[in-house]
Amino acid sequence: MLSHIKLIYATKSRKLVGKKIILAIPGSIAAVECVKLARELIRHGAEVHAVMSPSATKIIHPYAMEFATGNPVITEITGFIEHVELAGEHENKADLVLVCPATANTISKIACGIDDTPVTTVVTTAFPHIPIMIAPAMHESMYKHPIVRENIEKLKKLGVEFIGPRIEEGKAKVATIDEIVYRVIKKLHPKTLKGKKVLVTAGATREYIDPIRFITNASSGKMGVALAEEADFRGADVTLIRTRGSVNSFVEKQIIVETVEEMLKAIERELTKEKYDVVIMAAAVSDFRPKVKVKDKIKSDKPLTLELVPNPKIIDRIKELQPDVFLVGFKAETSMERLIENAKKQIERAKSDLVVGNTLEAFGSDESKVILITKDFIKELPKMKKRELAERIWDEIEKML
């Protein structure tokens, strides 16, 4: 591995370690994003090989992709039969072909089995033994063309997965790098939670004082979102209930709420309607709300006294609705002693199967140091990134399931 690749290799996660990805680049102006995309895939541990069509080389020089991937770039098929070397049926074949950014021309050629560029030849060679993902990029009118639409549907029926596009400014723009990387990880990740239904809550609730002022806390929702996305990678059917203002997520099924009451109603609806295997209560819900929410904006010319009343404990409702669900609670306290004591009370009261406890410094940050508490054991984990922590928590849940 080249030294400049070693510097970034698997620095964000090890999700794609051992995976060989062909980045097949057609001639779209969005090809300028491919340097960043290749580097981002490498940061998650992938080995990336770029294949370029002749028109792509007029937009971005092959040297740029050679630098980005640390591998020779294929710009023509020679006597070395590069398409077979990368995508043929043998033990060293690639794990995924990612066509990005895919033009209307390339999509239609792939759908018709035409292979007249290195990109289309590699894709033809990969069918059907290597997964293929396509990230389209073109003008909106081209994307809406009935035959292009027909070709996209035809490819979907053949198992090709499409990522995006984003419809903006009259264009079907290529999906963001973050979304493409997310979908690639999801595609290649071991499906250890396949067949499981998972509900996760994330973020800080808001309790309104008047139409614009509210009581909240410093939770960003990062931990809950990381847990939901980790379950998504592992093949679970995930519902994420997150609060307005929390970090965004690529989980497909999301319910956005604001108050504790809204969150409770959303959870009750879900648990009444569907049978869930795991419920993770990672949201930082407000313990109190103003007794009265004022209809008009409160004037700031005199002192204000707020009377607060307790909110219902959402976690106490979960086992009442689904006694067999695996319930994970979260506890945040100022000291470790109080944390363990209150986690044990929650296990007794709400029948939580696992409590993830942390001290308040984790709020809003990318890292966290937690303690896992069940009725049988207490396990302290070292400080780590929340993404890594989500993996560790799910490993524990899977063992207990």
Q: What is the pLDDT of residue 363?
A: 62
DSSP class of residue 185 equals H
DSSP 387-398: HHHHHHHHHHHH
Walk along the chain (401 residues) and give the pLDDT tens digit of each residue. Answer: 898 999 999 999 999 999 999 999 999 999 999 999 999 999 999 999 999 999 999 999 999 999 999 999 999 999 999 999 999 999 999 999 999 999 999 999 999 999 999 999 999 999 989 999 999 999 999 999 999 999 999 999 999 999 999 999 999 999 999 999 999 999 999 999 999 999 999 999 999 999 999 999 888 999 999 999 999 999 999 999 999 999 999 999 999 999 999 999 999 999 999 999 999 999 999 989 999 888 899 888 889 899 999 999 999 999 999 999 999 999 888 777 888 888 998 999 999 999 999 876 656 567 788 899 998 889 999 989 999 999 999 999 999 98
Q: Round to whole Å and give the CA distance between 29 and 31.
A: 5
Q: Tokens for 336, please give them.
A: 């470790």
CA-closest candidate to residue 89, choices 129, 140, 40: 129
Give the position of tokens 């990880």.
185
Q: Round to whole Å and give the CA distance between 90 and 82.
A: 13
Taken in order of first residue, the domains within the chain and their CATH numbers are: 3-188 (3.40.50.1950), 197-400 (3.40.50.10300)
Q: What is the pLDDT of residue 335?
A: 77
Q: What Rg, from alpha-carbon coordinates, does the chain have? A: 25
Cβ-count burial 85-95 (b if 16+ within 10 Å, e if not)? bbbbeeeebbb
- Compute the C-alpha angle 146/181/30, nearest 5°: 50
Q: Round to whole Å and give the CA distance between 99 and 119.
A: 8
Q: Which residues contact 70 (CB under 8 A, 6 or more apart)?
A: 1, 2, 4, 5, 42, 48
Query: CB–CB of 332/284 below 8 Å?
Result: yes
Query: CB–CB of 179/166 below 8 Å?
Result: no
Q: Tokens for 385, please give them.
A: 């990134």
Q: At residue 209, what is the residue type? A: I
